[in-house]
Amino acid sequence: MEIWINPACSKCRSALTLLDAEGADYTVRRYLDDVPSEDEIRAVLERLGLEPWDITRTQEDAAKELNLKDREAWPRDASGRDRWITALAEHPKLIQRPIITADDGTAVVGRTEEAVRDALSR
């Protein structure tokens, strides 16, 4: 399993603490340093079963600068999907964290203990 983290994020640190406590075998990806490509983001979205706007941190400064809350400029449908993915790749701080890719090919956004345990059970 792999976990995408920002070390400054308390939810990420909590997820790592739980993974360690459970003896999980995982690799860490500091996604702000090792930025995922658009194809990697597409693959994670498929594993999550989510759309790019579902994993976007809209309170970040970059989101405000891009005006991501403007639904006319940033449609949340198939017509806007690629643009959202490009924005996530160009501004990785917008990606919700932590994201855990489970061994069964799925993924979860591990913001809660329950979500992290869900990933562990896969």
Catalytic residue among 1, 2, 9, 106: 9
**Inter-residue contact 53 to 27 (CB < 8 Å):** no
Verify whether residue 9 is a known catalytic residue. yes
Active-site amino acid positions: 9
